[in-house]
Amino acid sequence: MHKRDAIKKIAASALVISASGLFVACSEPAPKFAAVDVTGADYAKDFQLSDHNGQPRSLKDFAGKLVVVFFGYTQCPDVCPTSMAELAEVKKTLGADGDKLQGIFITVDPQRDTPEILKAYMGNFDPSFLALVPTPEQLAALAKDYKVYYKKVDGSTPTSYTMDHSAGSYVYDTQGRLRLYARYGSGAPALAGDLKLLLKQKT
């Protein structure tokens, strides 16, 4: 009786080991991203906003493309233009795959950032990049969903205020899934490398 039990245990162990080996052989190694891997996050899943051309936009409009979303404003003196310039550099670095990248800029200053101003601003970096224009109510809801911080800082005149805001970028894969959070200051080469890894991944 004891011998039969022992044989059963050995057989069961062999099956577990065999299955484990099969799993390791079939699964792909996790890619090593420079940005923070947020795959499976239950926030920042989508947006429903008008772009600077007046067209309604959501993530599904960019199916098949990598999407990088950044929150900022056009009168930002440093972080915003630096981030958008780096994104334009990333697109060039991707070469033929550059067309698979969609840059999205969501203004945190809808009071001053009109569609006309935003369109001109995007043109300074890449004409294919789109700016989205939320109402104050939409911005508040979106900031909560994306865990984005923004706050108006009064200036010497009513129109000379600045905006404090989060400075990272959200990266979606070609299936519209949130995958990465790229911190400000990481640089274009690091982001380009991460996007190349995402493009290589099987859907």
Question: pLDDT of 35-71, one tens digit each?
Answer: 999 999 999 999 999 999 999 999 999 999 999 999 9
Q: Per DSSP, what are the bridge partners of residue 25? A: none
81 pLDDT band, cuts 50/70/90, is: very high
31 pLDDT band, cuts 50/70/90, is: confident
pTM of the model: 0.84
The pLDDT of residue 24 is 43
Given a cut of 50, is residue 21 above it in pLDDT? no
The pLDDT of residue 134 is 97
Q: Which CATH number applies to 36-200: 3.40.50.2300, 3.30.420.40, 3.40.30.10, 3.30.470.10?
A: 3.40.30.10
Q: So where are the chain's domains?
A: 36-200
7 pLDDT band, cuts 50/70/90, is: very low
The pLDDT of residue 196 is 97
Three-state SS sequence of the chain: CHHHHHHHHHHHHHHHHHHHHHHHHHCCCCCCCCCEECCCCCCCCCCCEEECCCCEECHHHHCCCEEEEEEECCCCCCHHHHHHHHHHHHHHHCHHHHHHEEEEEEECCCCCCCHHHHHHHHHCCCCCCEEEECCHHHHHHHHHHHCCCEEEECCCCCCCCEEEECCCEEEECCCCCEEEEECCCCCHHHHHHHHHHHHHCCC
